[in-house]
Amino acid sequence: MFNRRQFIGSVPVSAVAISAAGFGQSAQSQETQNQENADSEIIASPPVVQNPRVNGFGVSIAVNRLATAWVEYGFSKDDLAFTAVASQHGLICADDRTLHVRVHHHEALPSDRAIFYRVMVQSLRYRSAYVLERSEPQSTATYPLRLTSRSASSVRIVSINDTHEHLETIQTLHREIEKLNPDLLIWNGDSCNDFDAADSPEQVLLNPAKNRQLSWASTRPLLFSNGNHDVRGQRAREVIKSFAASPESSELPYNQALRFGPLAVITLDTGEDKPDRHPVFAGTAAYEPYREKQATWLTQALERPEIADAPYKIAACHIPLRGLDGQNDGTTLEGYASYCGFAAKLWLPILKQANCQAIVSGHMHRDRLDAASKDMPILQFVGGGPRPEQATLTVIDANDDGNQKSLAIRIVNLKGNVLHEHQWA
């Protein structure tokens, strides 16, 4: 984190806006002018806010060519006094598809008012190691971002799932999310059908509505819970460039345990829907040890004081952890999982011991609510599918006004009709 005024005054011009003229060239070549004209559209997505923490947050953005980025932010729209820059081992990060900048503020960020920010992007071209060319920086709009703290009296979270690049559904979800105005958005897996060589993961993930003006996670943070389709295809390993890993662990990038008001939210990664030994993976799957590592992490996360003493706890994961009678648990080579038997065996006892109220999942493309039982007191809310007539939003409202606590979860369709609901007092 830098004070912007100090940053501009103390960092060499070469680190921010290098041009050919800076190297003593009297005029730009026609080739350079053409390049700068081509740079008219560097930014290729709205900004997507991720991984909120007490003193920071991350922002990802897609770009059309090699570029660097930084985030300017502050507590007034007209005074973005601070600048955050992404670097690794002393080298400013650059990429030709996706850039991620993490804001690390020197103290806790306010949760009672908006944080204003914008992303600045500047193209980069290497003529040689010592001759670098930059365009004029380009800027996103300035967005108001609100973060929810542990001390908040209420929180609203909306979870969506199984969008599978269905444009009509995604555009409608944008409108419904804005109506619901959540504090936090969970994208609970299966953003795509697969990420093959011809696909652009950054566009699917950061610009899913194919419209930079439609953004569901520029004014609120997004938590991503990996789905089984998100790990398929030649370019699936690029997902982590758009949806950056949890700041605490690159080995468990989609595991987070966060406290928002009276609610603790835990995200888990169920991985693929078949055993690792299944021949379709050709020896490329290692989800079984990955789930075991998550079990160890889950036990430790639920013991953290701010999580353990939360009045309510929910877990979000793509594949359900509870199945219906006769459904495939995905532990054999026959068929595929309707629920994740591997994860259920590992995680459900831990969640039950921690008095988790609910699991929020998807995967089945058919909404349902699995009631609590004596043996399994955790309810399970399963979201719908990618077509408009299937699609749903799971709305989670937790409140603590000092006198009374409550948790309400409902699944609604794209018309706002309630399909399933449950309340805890």
Confidence at residue 7, expressed as pLDDT on a 0 to 100 scale = 38
Helix axes 287-303, 341-353, angle to 10 degrees: 10
Q: What is the pLDDT of residues 316-335, one digit of tens each?
A: 999 999 999 999 999 999 99
More confident residue, 29 or 52: 52
- What is d(CA 350, CA 302) in angstroms, rounded to the nearest whole number? 9
Residues facing 313 on adjacent strands: 264
Architecture of domain 2-145: Sandwich (2.60)
Q: Tell me the pLDDT band of 23, cut-offs 50, 70 and 90.
A: very low
Placement of tokens 């990420």 in the chain: 195
- The reply to whether 154-424 shares the fold of 2-145 is no
CA-based nearest residue to 188, from 169, 164, 168, 209? 164
Count the residues in the chain. 425
CA-based nearest residue to 347, from 387, 302, 391, 386? 302
CATH of 154-424, one of 3.40.50.1820, 3.60.21.10, 3.40.50.1980, 2.40.50.100: 3.60.21.10
Q: What is the pLDDT of residues 179-202, one digit of tens each?
A: 999 999 999 999 999 999 999 999
Cβ atoms of residues 113 and 75 within 8 Å: yes
Q: Is pLDDT at 423 greater than 70 in this prediction?
A: yes
Whole-model pTM? 0.90
Displacement of CA 381 from its chain's centroid (Å)? 20
Long-range contacts from 277-286, C-beta under 8 angstroms, 24+ separation: 277/333, 278/333, 279/333
Placement of tokens 């920010």 in the chain: 117
Residue 181 region, left (φ>0) first, then alpha (ψ -120 to 50), else beta? left
Confidence at residue 425, expressed as pLDDT on a 0 to 100 scale = 87
What does each C-alpha distance from 311 to 287, 398, 417 come to in angstroms?
32, 9, 28
Q: Tell me the pLDDT band of 308, cut-offs 50, 70 and 90.
A: very high
Q: Is pLDDT at 155 greater than 60 in this prediction?
A: yes
Q: Is pLDDT at 32 greater than 60 in this prediction?
A: no
Is residue 21 classed as helix, strand or coil in its secondary structure?
helix
Task: Look up residue 183 and give its DSSP letter.
Answer: S
Q: Is pLDDT at 13 greater than 60 in this prediction?
A: no
Residue 217's contacts (CB-CB under 8 Å, 6 or more residues apart) are 48, 49, 50, 185
Q: Is pLDDT at 267 greater than 70 in this prediction?
A: yes
Domain range list for the chain: 2-145, 154-424
- What is d(CA 240, CA 344) in angstroms, rounded to the nearest whole number? 25
Mean pLDDT (the chain, rounded): 92
CA-based nearest residue to 264, from 308, 320, 217, 318? 308
